[in-house]
Amino acid sequence: MTQPSTLQTTVQDVISALKDKPGALLPILHGIQDALGYVPSDSVPSIAQALNLSRAEVHGVISFYHYFRSTPPGQHLVQVCRAESCQAMGSETLEQHIKTSLGIDYHETSADGKFTLEPVYCLGNCACSPAITIDNDVYGRVTSAEFTNLIDELEKSL
């Protein structure tokens, strides 16, 4: 787990590196989330000050885009494609199975901290619908049984 001083240092490093770019807010938010896995709420004042924005403006962008998280994610990020192609090929059934299996809804992390579930609106894997990602791996033509097998394998490695 990242210690508070390391967290603050990381946030400041990202801000310093990107604050002078045109339209710096989104690159800074992406940089922080890429480095930490989320955008800590206590980083909002520093971002706002560096960009001469209000805290409300920064928070508004974070809360508007579903991509940004304000709490740490689980050890593994599961994303389910909700685009039309995947829906046409059964992703809604798969989505319900995933939610039930993990015991969480979208934008939530399991109580044990192992899994975070997020929707995504296209993985570019339409020919292999329904598609999901687990961490950085993309899976196509995923069935409920295959998802269960993937999670079982992950849990064995934890």
The contacts of residue 107 (CB under 8 Å, 6+ apart) are 66, 69, 117, 118
Alpha carbon distance 114, 75 (integer Å): 5
Domain boundary (12, 43, 64) is at 64
Which CATH number fits the domain that encloses residue 110? 3.40.30.10
Domain co-membership, 153 together with 86:
yes
- Read off the pLDDT of residues 89-115 as tens digits, 9 standing for 90 and up: 999 999 999 999 999 999 999 999 999
- Domain with 22, as residue range(s), is 4-64
**For residue 10, is it within any domain?**
yes
Domain boundary (16, 31, 64) is at 64
**Average pLDDT of the residues of the chain:** 95
Domain co-membership, 47 together with 91:
no
**For residue 29, is it within any domain?**
yes
| pLDDT category of residue 141 using cuts at 50, 70 and 90 | very high
- Read off the pLDDT of residues 52-92 as tens digits, 9 standing for 90 and up: 999 999 999 999 998 899 999 999 999 999 999 999 999 99
